[in-house]
Every structure is written in structure tokens, then in C-alpha cells.
Amino acid sequence: MYLYNSTTHKKELFVPNNPELVKMYTCGPTVYHYAHIGNLRTYIMEDVLEKALRYCGYNVKRVMNITDVGHLASDADTGEDKMLKGAKRENKTVMEIARYYTDAFFADCEKLNIKRPDVVEPATNCIDEYIDMVSRLLETGKAYFAGGNVYFDTSTLEKYYVFGDHDEEDLAVGVREGVEEDSNKKNKNDFVLWFTKSKFEDQALKWDSPWGVGYPGWHIECSCISMKHLGEDLDIHAGGIDNAFPHHTNEIAQSESYLGHKWCNYWFHVHHLNTEGGKMSKSKGEFLTVSLLESKGYDPMAYRLFCLQSHYRRNLVFSWENLDNAVVAYDKLVAKIATLKNEGEIEQAVFEELKNKFVTALNGDLNTSLAVTALYDVLKAKCSDATKLALIADFDAVLSLNLIAAAQKLAAKQAEEEAANADPEIDALVAQRTEAKKAKNWAEADRIRDELKARGIEIIDTPQGAKWRKV
């Protein structure tokens, strides 16, 4: 599989350190509010990556953190803790907020068929690991203590901006919002590893440490949680593009300084879902959640298809019209699949040829829109229905669009409707008309059609024969 690697800015052949097990880490949500569908675009595409690797025969261990402490409002080291803000907003404790929104996040993931990672670790579980890493960084002169906080010293690095090709706007996160300069920092890019002093003294969660009672910075959690469960060498680290800087840049700085060697080989970044007005937000405009989509009658699978129809390295614009188009596409797909009968033999040669198209799409930097095209190719192919159904089930191990189940449900509903509308007398008249047509007795065929029309029945000629419905 070829994947674009944000550190080398190239598509590279993916070769895991250990062919027996791919180690994958994903930045999890900050659980101060519901995830918006932009956040969930990132998790959908990461889910597809994990499933594509498994589909290609790899065994994958995937770890995700839950950010329940340390993520400040500005993404840099200033502003109030997002969790505390959430707790104040809802008059609850930070831990209550964390539990509630963690559950809400996984409920949304379930609706979108996003598999739960093998390990999910809340940041507040790993304080000892952070203290250990920060201590080592201080011992080796990579970090310093100033004004009550421990900072990472970026002047000890050969290279700090490892993801140099991102948009100015993405790189500017840390210096946006009129952030005040922190006079304790030796260098502009230094970042906090452990806080004991911030402007916001009412931080709810604090722990004892060699540097005083305080709390960890946001970046340290991902380095430590990854190493706790995946060891010193990571194959793939994934996240949204806004995380490349400062979050992932700082993770690399501290992890490699701590380890003394390269840490992660492939960096996978999903570009943003934007609204027509620009950046998606939890506070401005309509707060777009999975529940909001459902309340407007949208099937979460249509949103998943909407995401799969575009490449993860392109910004995607959300509009209700675009989502409506995905709904039409999804419904058509399901309706088409519902007409397939599990009949005939699986034709191996055709199966392999069509599967190959799908695999090639995934192997080309996870080109999900081409993978969806491969699915349409299956429906158009000249082969047995059994071959098609086997291919669709096979592809859906990665696409996770519930295709077979949705088609079965639709077929059952149609059968039920047909049964409810069954009328042997009308069936007999439709059969007589078919016979008349066969005998080229057009006048009789037309007479029967007109008679039925007068009784409110419309005949629909399909490749499977004449059907009728009440109008």
C-alpha cells in the first residue's frame, strides 16, 4: 500500500517495522462537547485506513487517547482548559463531562460504523508515565523549569518544523487569537510539558509531581499513551490536519528526544470538513452532529458515503445539498443490491478482477472515491448475482456502509408491501395482458391496461416481468 507521509511529503510504500503487527496510534477526541461531523470525518477516514490494512492481511493494533485534561482553548499553552470550560457550561464536574462526552463520542462512532480502537486510554490514567517522560527530558537537558512550569526546549532540536508543507493557516494555530507571549519561554516554540502555574488557577484536576501540584500539557499524553501500549516504535500516527502543528510537531520533538531515536515512520493527516462559510465550529452557526443529521431524517451511512466519495487529503465542503446527493447515491446503491438474488456460482476470475480494482484503489493512498467506483463496477459487471453479492460483502469489510444488511432490509420491506397489496384477481389480469402481448394481441393488452388504470392500478414493465402498483 502507498500512503502519503506528511513528514516526507511523498507517497511512500507502507512497510511496517514488524510485518506481523502494524502499530497505529490515533489522536482521540477532547471530550468537552459532542464531536462535530468534521471531527468524525477524520475518524471515518482513520477507520477506513485501519480496515484497509486489515483487509490487505495485516494484523493491526490501534491505540487512541481520550483527551480529558490539558487541552487549552488556543491549542497553544494559553487559554482556559477546554474540559473546565465544558464543565462550567453545564454545571457539572470535569469527570462527569468527560464520561458523558466519551460515551456520546463512541455512540456516534457506532452509528457511523467506526470500529472502536483496540486500546482506548483517557489521558488522566497515565500521570506516572508523563512524570517519567518529563523527568527524563529534564535530566537530559531537553527541558527546563521556569516560572513554575516545565517547558520543552526546542533549541535542542536539529529540526523542529517537521511538517513544513502545510498551509500557513494550519501552522498558525499556536499563535492565533492574540495569544500573549509567555515570558518564561526561552524560545518562541517551546511548549509546556507540565503546568503548575497558569493564568487559570482554578484548574479542576491536579496531581502531585516533582515540580509541584499541577497537570500535564496536551502533547505529552499522546507520546506517553502511544509508548505505553505500542512501545518505542510506531508505524502510523494519524489525526486531523490541524493537529500537525503544534500538537504532532511537539509530540515528535519530545518523543524522539526522550527515546534518542526515530519514533514514528508514517504520519497520516486527514484534511478538514468545512462548511460553505468556512471552518466548522462547535460554537458558531449550526452545531453539526450525527444526532442533528438523524433528527433531520438522514441515515448516518449516507454521511459515511459522503466522506468516502472524496479523498482524505482534500478539504471537503459540507452542505445539505451535498449530503442530499449522497443520500440519493446511497439509496440507489442499496436499491440496486436489493434486486440481486443469491443465485449462481461465484465466478472466481471475475471476482479476482473486480477485487483487484478495489485493492488498487485502496493501495493508491487510500483512494476511497475510486474504491466506491469499484463498487459501481461490480453492479454493472456481467456475472452472476452470487459473484456480485460476494464482492459487495467483501468490499464492505472496508467501506462499512451496511450495504448487504440495508439491501436485505429493503427487499424484506418491499416483499411485505407486495404481500400487503396482494390481489390474485389483478395478478390474473396482469398475466392475461402479458399473454396478450406475447400473442401480439395489442388491442387486448391495451384494453386490460386501461381497465386496470380505471381501477387505480398502474402496470410497470420491468426486466423481471410486469409488476403493478396502486396509484
Cβ closest to ligand AMP, residue 66 vs residue 378: 66
Greatest pairwise CA separation for the chain in angstroms: 98
174 binds, among ligand AMP, Zn ion, none (CB under 5 to 8 A by kind): none
Cβ at position 117, least distance to Zn ion in Å: 13
Q: Which residues contact 367 (CB under 8 A, 6 or more apart)?
A: 311, 361
Query: From the CB of residue 435, how many other CB atoms can be counted at a distance below 10 Å?
Result: 13
Binding residues among 271-290 for ligand AMP as defined by CB under 6 A: 272-273, 280
Question: What is the amino acid identity at position 177?
Answer: E
Task: Pick the closest to residue 266 from 224, 244, 237, 223 (CA basis).
Answer: 237
Q: How far apart are CA 73 and CA 129, in angstroms?
A: 24
280 binds, among Zn ion, ligand AMP, none (CB under 5 to 8 A by kind): ligand AMP
Locus of grid cell 496510534: 25
70 near ligand AMP (CB under 6 A)? no
Binding residues among 193-252 for Zn ion as defined by CB under 5 A: 222
Q: Which residues contact 128 (CB under 8 A, 6 or more apart)?
A: none
Containing 129, the helix (H) or strand (E) segment is helix 127-139
* DSSP-derived 3-state class of residue 247: helix
6 binds, among ligand AMP, Zn ion, none (CB under 5 to 8 A by kind): none
Cβ closest to ligand AMP, residue 100 vs residue 145: 100
189 binds, among Zn ion, ligand AMP, none (CB under 5 to 8 A by kind): none
- Residue 7 is classified by DSSP as T
* DSSP-derived 3-state class of residue 8: coil
Cβ at position 7, least distance to ligand AMP in Å: 17
Cβ closest to ligand AMP, residue 42 vs residue 189: 42
Cβ closest to ligand AMP, residue 88 vs residue 437: 88
Cβ closest to ligand AMP, residue 308 vs residue 392: 308
* DSSP-derived 3-state class of residue 167: coil
42 binds, among Zn ion, ligand AMP, none (CB under 5 to 8 A by kind): ligand AMP
273 binds, among ligand AMP, Zn ion, none (CB under 5 to 8 A by kind): ligand AMP
Locus of grid cell 395482458: 433
b/e map 161-199, b = 16+ CB within 10 Å: ebbeebeeebbebbeeeeeeebebbeeebbbbbbbbebe
Cβ at position 161, least distance to Zn ion in Å: 18
Cβ closest to Zn ion, residue 1 vs residue 222: 222
For residue 120, which phi and psi values (nearest 5 degrees)?
-125, 120
Task: Pick the closest to residue 305 from 44, 24, 73, 25 (CA basis).
Answer: 44
Binding string, 1-40, against Zn ion, x = CB under 5 A?
A: --------------------------x-------------
216 binds, among ligand AMP, Zn ion, none (CB under 5 to 8 A by kind): none
| Start-to-end CA span in the chain (Å) | 52
Cβ at position 27, least distance to Zn ion in Å: 3
How far from 351 is each of 356, 364, 378, 402, 403, CA to CA, in Å? Answer: 8, 20, 9, 20, 18
Q: How many residues interact with ligand AMP (rule CB under 6 A)?
A: 16
Binding residues among 29-58 for ligand AMP as defined by CB under 6 A: 29-30, 38-39, 41-42
217 near ligand AMP (CB under 6 A)? no
Query: From the CB of residue 140, how many other CB atoms can be counted at a distance below 10 Å?
Result: 12
Locus of grid cell 453539526: 288
DSSP 392-435: HHHHHHHH---HHHHHHHHHHHHHHHHHHT--HHHHHHHHHHHH
Cβ closest to ligand AMP, residue 320 vs residue 442: 320
Binding string, 228-267, against ligand AMP, x = CB under 6 A?
A: -----------xx-xx------------------------
Q: Which among 165-173, 269-277, 400-408, 425-433 is the span making contact with ligand AMP, rule CB under 6 A?
A: 269-277
222 binds, among Zn ion, ligand AMP, none (CB under 5 to 8 A by kind): Zn ion
Cβ closest to ligand AMP, residue 68 vs residue 347: 68
CA atoms within 13 A on the CB side of 345: 4
Q: How far apart are CA 404 and CA 415, in angstroms?
A: 16
Cβ closest to Zn ion, residue 70 vs residue 86: 70
Sites of contact with Zn ion (CB under 5 A): 27, 222
Sites of contact with ligand AMP (CB under 6 A): 27, 29-30, 38-39, 41-42, 67, 239-240, 242-243, 270, 272-273, 280
